[in-house]
Amino acid sequence: MGRFALAGLALLALADAAGAEEDNSALLVDLFAKICAPKPARPSQVEHIATALGFVNDGGPITAEMERRASIDVLYAAKLIRRGERLGSMTAYFRGPDDGVSVSCTVSAVGVSADAVPGLIETSLKAHERTDKPSNDDNHRLASWRVGAGSGDTLDMSVWRTPPHRASITLNYVAHRR
């Protein structure tokens, strides 16, 4: 009977270790697809989407006054905490005139696979024309893609092959009030 209990404890320990090595690549791409890929035109839109996905704002709330100015200059930053650990973060920087604000939207996560992320970006985000970029470190992979038809928007990826296996996806675009 004791052997079975010991074997059961060993299996539980292995299951916990496997959970600790969870691949968050698909989660990173999915969060990016929900937050940045729709190209939100307002900081409050990003805040609403991120909050609904479980992100916690690092600063104060976005106010209507911040968005009513002739020229917007707002940085929204939030973190994603799951099971007491920081799993990821996101930022969206809005700057420029109300009728054509420049936006840089980034989602980052830890525990991702440098080999899986590029394929997920291409299939899930319909990115095309990948350009691998040089890096000063063999453990750091950089690439960019064109997204959208004729928009000229680019999506950039940075992913590390070394612990904590951090990666980020960034989209820069010009937003128009909708």
pLDDT tens-digit profile of 119-142? 999 999 988 889 999 999 999 999
Residue 80: helix, strand or coil by DSSP? Answer: strand
List, for residues 43-67, the tens digit of each pLDDT value. Answer: 999 999 999 999 999 888 999 999 9
> Average of pLDDT values for 163-172?
96
88 has pLDDT over 60: yes
Amino acid, single-letter form, for residue 151: S
**Could you give the angle at the alpha carbon of 82 between the alpha carbons of 28 and 160, nearest 5°?**
40
SS3 45: helix
Structure tokens at 60: 């104060």
15 pLDDT exceeds 60?
A: no
The pLDDT of residue 2 is 46
Strands lying side by side in the sheet with 140-147: 55-57, 71-82, 85-97, 101-109, 167-175, 153-160, 140-147, 128-133
Average pLDDT over residues 66-79: 92
- What is the Cα–Cα distance from 17 to 34, expressed in whole angstroms? 30
Q: What percent of the chain has pLDDT over 70?
A: 85
SS3 50: helix
Measured CA to CA, the distance from residue 44 to residue 41 in angstroms comes to 9
Q: Does residue 76 surpass a pLDDT of 70?
A: yes
- What pTM did the predictor assign? 0.84
Give the separation between CA 49 and CA 30, rounded to whole angstroms. 13
User: Does 130 or 86 have the greater pLDDT score?
Assistant: 130
Mean pLDDT of 85-103: 92
Query: What pLDDT band is residue 176 in, cutting at 50, 70 and 90?
Result: confident
The helix, strand and coil proportions of the chain, stated in percent and rounded to the nearest 5, come to 30, 40, 30
Q: Provide the mean pLDDT of the chain.
A: 86
Place of tokens 């420029």: 96
Q: What is the pLDDT of residue 4?
A: 41
Whether residue 30 is predicted with pLDDT greater than 60 in this model: the reply is: yes
Q: In angstroms, what CA-CA distances link 28 with 17, 23, 56, 124, 148?
A: 21, 10, 16, 11, 20
